[in-house]
Amino acid sequence: MPSPSDVLGIDRSASEDAIHRAYRRRVKTAHPDQGGSVAEFQAVQAAYEELLERRREGTESSEDSEPTIRQVDVTYLDYAVLEDRGWRLEDAALFEKAAAADLDGGAYGTLSVRPDRTLLESAEQAGQAWPYSCRGGACANCAIAVVEGELSQPVNHVLPAEAIDRGIRLSCVGYPITDELRVVYNVKHLPSIADLRLPPRPADSRGTD
Ligand code: FES
């Protein structure tokens, strides 16, 4: 069985930054949307988390150890649920309805996000397989709707001003800038967003309707 370092293709003594970089590189091919598989994606996630934990345990006793980083709570909801149930994005009680609907953890739940991680990376670290393609702000495959709170948008080569005004953001380049966020992910199916997406790849298992 390959070691976590082997799974990410890095040296055992790699720095935390090197671990993050290796993870971002590997997850691009391991994700089910990108020709990988759920098993491969989960193996990469597990290796990443184990290496980070080891790295942090190794620095815990050091005087130079990193300060505790504040986490941001993000509550998420899959847009597919809205389509299935006829719910509207503009509904002020949308998340209350979702909380009462006994949805599975892939469709609705909460995850913690470090302010120095993108929302997409954090969702993946939490075992979610949210859609994406370019990971660079140039398509709309990773689009989310921010219902409460705010996500920064340092890079955006695709969303028109009208979409930004409606709270649409790109999860692959967005960092939380409020203490709490409520987001609807998978909004690539919204009529105004669908035209901005990259074409699905042959192995794309999500949203190839
Ligand atoms: S994956 Fe293309 S903009 Fe985020």
pLDDT tens by residue, 184-202: 999 987 877 777 766 554 4
> What pLDDT is recorded for position 77?
98
Q: Is the dihedral of CA 178, 180, 186, 188 positive or negative?
A: negative
Per-residue tokens: 152? 């920064």
Indicate the Cα dihedral angle 201, 40, 139, 184, nearest 10°: 120
Does ligand 1 have an atom closer than 6 angstroms to the CB of 19? Answer: no
Q: How many domains, the chain?
A: 2
Residue 23 lies in a domain: yes
Q: Is the dihedral of CA 100, 179, 154, 127 positive or negative?
A: negative
**Any idea what DSSP says for residue 69?**
P
Model pTM greater than 0.85? Answer: no
Does ligand 1 have an atom closer than 6 angstroms to the CB of 76? Answer: no
Instruction: Give yes or no: residues 97 and 179 share one domain.
Output: yes
Residue 204 lies in a domain: no
Per-residue tokens: 67? 């300060």
**The domain containing residue 151 runs over which residues?**
72-194
Does ligand 1 have an atom closer than 6 angstroms to the CB of 141? Answer: yes
Instruction: Give yes or no: residues 92 and 177 share one domain.
Output: yes
Residue 94 lies in a domain: yes
CATH code assigned at 178:
3.10.20.30
- Residues in the chain predicted with pLDDT less than 50, given as ranges, are 60-67, 201-209
Does ligand 1 have an atom closer than 6 angstroms to the CB of 198? Answer: no
Instruction: Give yes or no: residues 79 and 149 share one domain.
Output: yes
Instruction: Give yes or no: residues 95 and 41 share one domain.
Output: no
Residue 134 lies in a domain: yes
Instruction: Give yes or no: residues 11 and 100 share one domain.
Output: no
Mutate to test the pocket of ligand 1, among 124, 142, 183 (most ligand atoms within 8 A of CB): 142
Distances 138 to 49, 58, 117, 152, 161 between C-alpha atoms, Å: 28, 38, 19, 16, 15
Instruction: Give yes or no: residues 48 and 135 share one domain.
Output: no
> What pLDDT is recorded for position 208?
34
Instruction: Give yes or no: residues 125 and 158 share one domain.
Output: yes
Instruction: Give yes or no: residues 108 and 179 share one domain.
Output: yes
Does ligand 1 have an atom closer than 6 angstroms to the CB of 107? Answer: no
